Every structure is written in C-alpha cells, then in structure tokens.
Amino acid sequence: MITRLLSLVGLGFLTLGLLGFSGRPSAVFDFSKHGVPLDQILSGGPPKDGIPAILKPAFLKAADAGFLTDQDRILGLVEGGETKAYPIKILNWHEIVNDTLGGKPVVVTYCPLCGTGIGFHPVVNGRSLTFGVSGLLYQSDMVMYDHQTESLWSQISMEAIAGPMTGAKLTHIFLEHTTWGEWRKAHPATLVLSTKTGFSRDYLRDPYLGYAQRADLMFPVQRKDSRFHPKEWVLGVTVGGIAKAYPFSELKKAKSPLHDKVNGQRLTIQFHADAQSASAVDSSGKPLPTIMAFWFAWYAFHPETEVFTAS
C-alpha cells in the first residue's frame, strides 16, 4: 500500500497529471452544498488522506536540522514568542501541518502544484478545526477538508467550497516563504519541523523535481494569462478585495524596498533576490499576510488582478 501511494504522490502522480487525468470527485464527501461548479473539483490521484497530513508534529533545534541545506526552502512563522520553520522537503509529502504556535492553533499548508505556502488560524465561528488532504484539486490547487465537518476548503481562496461549512472563511496569517539559510540567520533560535513524522517517506527526494521549471500544468485551470511564464514566482497581495501581483522578474528590475499602493493603502514590498522571496508591510510597518505563488495559480484565482511592472 505504501509503495502504491508513494508512486501516486511521487513521479507517478506527476504522470497522472501529464496524461490529463481529471477524474470526477469521489462520493466520499458530501457535495449537496457547494460554492463552486462541481465539474471544477477534480481528483488529483491519491485518495482521501493518501497524502497524510501531520497532526502531531515534532520539532528540532536549528543546530540539529542537519537534513537542511542553506538553499532549502521553508515556510517560517513567528507568533506569541515562538518561531518555527516548516521545510518544503517535508511539506511536499504531507502538504498540511496542524500545529500550535504561541498557544494558538495554526495550520501550515503547501501546495506543490501551485507553489503556495499559506498559514491559517483554523478557528471558525468559535470552533477550532483540524485539516487533512482530500485528494481533490480546485483550479490545480490543493483542496483540504476539516475533520470536524468534512467540508472541503480551497487553500488559495481560504474558503469552504463544498460541504456543511460552504462559504466559511479561514483567517490568513503572515508567514515567510524563504530559504533555510536566510531564516536561520534572522531567527537563530527557531525550531524546525522534524523528519520524524510517523510516516515512511524519503524526505531527501523531491517528488516534483523539474515541475517548477516546466511551462505545462498537470491539471486544468479555468483562466490563463500568458504575460509571464506560468511558473513565474509572484507575491500576491489583497487589500479590501483588490488583488495585485508582484512578479519576481519585475521586482528584480526595481529598487528594494519598493513603495506602492493597493486599493489606496500604502505598503512596502521587500524583495530578496538571493533567497527568491518577497514580503509586504503596511504603512505602520506591520507585516501583511501575502501569498507567494506561481503566476498561473495567482491568476486562476484572481483574474482581475493588478500587476506591478517596473518603470
């Protein structure tokens, strides 16, 4: 069974996409209530929990994280006096980590198909939720499900798209998508998600190797835009319902920090070319929750997006 799942999640999973696999969602979830067209919710190959979310994460001190190189990518969170790093080489195989930080529940998610690392406070209407991987996709993006109601949630839209909680929203939190070297330099006391996850996976192998460089998509999206390479990294910002993308190819041409406005709100974009990362703060210097994503994924969810271009 493990071998079969590894073949689905690994290079075999990529082959399913390249062959145009787009099976209809299984009946394991309740689709009687939904907020998006059902024919746009597709099977990604692995079944429900075939990609196992981490429910009881273990952590190491930075000095003990010898499995990481300075160039390895991580998602970093700071809250309530705690600092944690979640390596992409682990998230590639699990996609969701249910955790606590600063005494509050947090969910750290990563969709390898869209390049999107997003953190949430999983409390909705006073109820704390935990999440698993449904095995489904919407606009090529991971669809999560909560264990409490089995509603389906779109990672990028941060909204329940099917099931009892359809229309409910998750609270987006600020995290950094950067390299281990940059994160460790800024946060030497950070804890790091351990490879002792309780699952047998080769965390030193990248099951998506080469995917980020190719122009092809493994699963369909409803809207496309050819202004940039589909896998161009962009920093996506949303202010009061207005979305704006900052492509890294344009940020490279501009002076950093970059001062800009979105929906009338002043903000500052910091771009780190060496770490291939970007972040935003508001006029008071408060970090803004943003999304680093491949261009195709940001556009699929924000077709009316504004786009920054260097003058």
Predicted confidence (pLDDT) at residue 299 exceeds the cutoff of 70? yes
Looking at every residue in the chain, the average pLDDT score rounds to: 92
- Amino acid 300 reads A
Same domain, 46 and 168: yes
Which letter does DSSP use for residue 45 in this model? S
pTM beyond cutoff 0.75: yes
d(CA 4, CA 50): 10
The crossing angle, in degrees rounded to 10, of helices 11-18 and 2-9 is 50
What is the mean predicted confidence (pLDDT) over 243-253? Answer: 98
In the numeric block, which tokens belong to residue 237?
């910002």
Same domain, 88 and 27: yes
Same domain, 17 and 122: yes
In the numeric block, which tokens belong to residue 156?
């990028």
Same domain, 156 and 38: yes
Per-residue pLDDT, 19: 29
Predicted confidence (pLDDT) at residue 13 exceeds the cutoff of 90? no
Same domain, 98 and 231: no
Considering the domain boundaries, does residue 44 fall inside one?
A: yes
Considering the domain boundaries, does residue 203 fall inside one?
A: no
Considering the domain boundaries, does residue 206 fall inside one?
A: no
- Amino acid 122 reads P
Q: What is the pLDDT of residues 93-131, one digit of tens each?
A: 999 999 999 999 999 999 999 999 999 999 999 999 999
Predicted confidence (pLDDT) at residue 22 exceeds the cutoff of 50? no
Range of the domain at 122: 2-191
Predicted confidence (pLDDT) at residue 85 exceeds the cutoff of 70? yes
Burial class for 206, CB neighbours closer than 10 Å (0-12, 13-18, 19+): middle
Same domain, 227 and 187: no
What are the counts of helices (DSSP H) followed by strands (DSSP E) for the chain?
A: 6, 23
Per-residue pLDDT, 25: 57
Q: What is the pLDDT of residues 34-44, one digit of tens each?
A: 999 999 999 99
d(CA 203, CA 181): 18
Q: What is the pLDDT of residues 128-171, one digit of tens each?
A: 999 999 999 999 999 999 999 999 999 999 999 999 999 999 99
Per-residue pLDDT, 28: 87
d(CA 123, CA 105): 8
Single residue among 168, 191, 214 that ends a domain in this structure: 191
**Nearest CA to 271 among 284, 283, 285, 256?**
256
Total number of domains in the chain: 2
Considering the domain boundaries, does residue 196 fall inside one?
A: no
